[in-house]
Amino acid sequence: MTPPGRGGEERHRATPWAEARALAARAGRTGPVRSRRVPLTEALGRVLAEPLVALTDLPSFDTSAMDGWAVAGPGPWMVSEGGSVLAGHARAAELPDGEAVRIATGARVPPGTTAVIRTEHARTEQTRTRPARTEQTRTERAGTEQTRTEHAGTEQTRTEHTGTEHAGTEPSRAPAGGVRLHAEREVLPGQDIRPRGQECRSGDELLPAGGPVTPAVLGLAAAAGYDELVTVERPRVDVLVLGDELLTAGLPRDGLIRDALGPLLGPWLAALGADVAVTRRIEDDADALYAAVTDSRADLVITTGGTAAGPVDHVHPVLRKAGAELLVDGVKVRPGHPMLLARLAPERHLVGLPGNPLAAVSGLLTLAEPLLRGLCGRRPVAEPYRLPLRDEVHGHPHDTRLVPVVHRAGRAVPLHYNGPAMLRGIAEADGLAVVPPGGARADDVLEILGLPWPSPTEGCFT
């Protein structure tokens, strides 16, 4: 391993920001992806290790899309006396031509059904046999018109939810007696019926491998017949927080400061898909750091601080002693340029983050996030999202800058408090703008690095 350099040599060996991210992503994809079968109740937030393939047709039978009437043939229809067809019940008998039957949403459509008529698009009339006579009466009450037409020995009573008068009734093909159904709109064959296989056929690929298991994916998997999912085993991460000057409780005092990275890193890494096994604080002691790094069995070791060349910066010497291979030794990015990526073993890595909080966040997004994306089996990001800047941002002469921004009316607004030791800006941010060397002007369109949690300005708190 090449010893750390100084001054111009350090700038020369530092890796450009985009290249460093690409190297980290490739490092995460070098080993096999370990998978694990878990119940649906445990799969949320994991990553699909295999494509989600339909185990059945969806829907698996023709179903009614609405509450209403299943009808066969052209209308009007005589209503079947066999009761209603309900969801979850066994297959109904075939519906003869000229008949209708009540049906509930989600119920299996009886064989022979031409269409489903929504309840609000149909009306019924009662027919009953009685002695023949010829007379016609109309009665109106409470906005409901009843028309009785008696002829040929049959009296027909029609109830309509309208004030419009009708001169008579339509003749029925069916025998006198019972309930007749009329459609109040044109009936199209197949309307309001979800045909079998409308969404997918058995064996269709519903989702590719590498996608996150969201609540919607859980619902789709359950509908498709799954009780378990094959998911990627979460990579194990050990976090080593370095420094004699760190307090874990109380107010800063006597030259000591609160540890901000211990509380920050575990949840952030978990949001990226990692299983954080331990977060340990280690004093500025090279032997203690060497023991912690070499004893760890984690897929990824994260260290904070100690990546520069100061008197207590022990990360480089420890990596040399451990026989590690440096893949990235410094990145041309501000804040966070002393970050590094090393291979401890064929399938084990270490990401060294700077000790300043925002610089450490920069290292997380530059090296740890793309590395973990590969270790988690997630698909590479197809296209970064971009937004125009509202305000000018000053840049570094030679390095990329990562600047916290919020979204306002479709623009990225740079935030103050963006120094290497500051967390105030990132705590409010929706993302970090990638500012090229030399800076960016208002209206320039920049890549935005998203954060792995709901946006503070666009989430449920707005």
pLDDT tens digits, residue range 168-204?
333 334 444 689 999 999 999 999 999 999 999 999 9
Cα separation of 60 and 200, whole Å?
9
pTM of the model: 0.75
Domain total for the chain? 4
pLDDT for res 397: 95
Calculate ∠ Cα 132-138-142, nearest 5°: 140
Q: Are residues 250 and 327 located together in one domain of the fold?
A: yes
Q: Within a domain: residue 325?
A: yes
Q: What is the pLDDT of residue 258?
A: 85
Which residue, chain included where needed, has tokens 């125009």? 388
Residue 66: how many CA atoms within 13 Å on its side-chain side? Answer: 15
Of 375, 395, 419, which closes a domain? 375
Instruction: Read off the pLDDT of residues 283-294 as tens digits, 9 standing for 90 and up.
Output: 889 999 999 999
Whether 318 and 278 share a structural domain:
yes
Residues 363 and 238 in one domain: yes
335 upstream amide cis, omega within 30 of 0: yes
Same domain membership, residue 259 and residue 189: no
Whether the CB-CB separation of 429 and 417 falls below 8 Å is answered with: no
* Nearest-angstrom CA–CA distance, 7 and 435: 23
224 and 260 within one domain:
no
CATH value at residue 212:
3.90.105.10
Q: Dig out the tokens for 191 from the structure.
A: 């309307």
Instruction: Tell me: do 11 and 106 sit in the same domain.
Output: no
Q: Which residues contact 432 (CB under 8 A, 6 or more apart)?
A: 361, 362, 365, 402, 403, 404, 405, 426, 448, 449, 451
Q: Which CATH number belongs to the domain containing residue 254 in this structure? A: 3.40.980.10
260 vs 174 pLDDT, higher one: 260
CA distance 306 to 242: 7
Average pLDDT across the chain, whole number: 84
Run of H or E including 261: helix 261-271
The pLDDT confidence band at residue 142, using thresholds 50, 70 and 90, is very low
Residues 269 and 338 in one domain: yes
Report the run of H or E that residue 115 belongs to, with start and end.
strand 115-118
Residue 185's domain comprises 63-194
Are residues 49 and 97 part of one domain? no
Statement to judge: residues 361 and 251 lie in one domain: yes
Each residue of 356-411: pLDDT tens digit?
Answer: 999 999 999 999 999 999 998 887 776 789 999 999 999 999 999 999 999 999 99
| Domain stops at, among 182, 217, 232 | 232
φ/ψ of 218, rounded to 5, equals -60, -45
Q: How confident is the model at residue 151 (pLDDT cuts 50, 70, 90)?
A: very low
Domain boundary among 375, 405, 431: 375
Cα(457)–Cα(459) distance, integer angstroms: 6
Domain contains 458: no
Instruction: Tell how strand 99-103 and strand 77-79 pair up.
Output: parallel
Instruction: Judge if the upstream peptide bond of residue 76 is cis by omega within 30 degrees of 0.
Output: yes
More reliable by pLDDT, 458 or 244: 244
pLDDT for residue 457 is more than 80: no
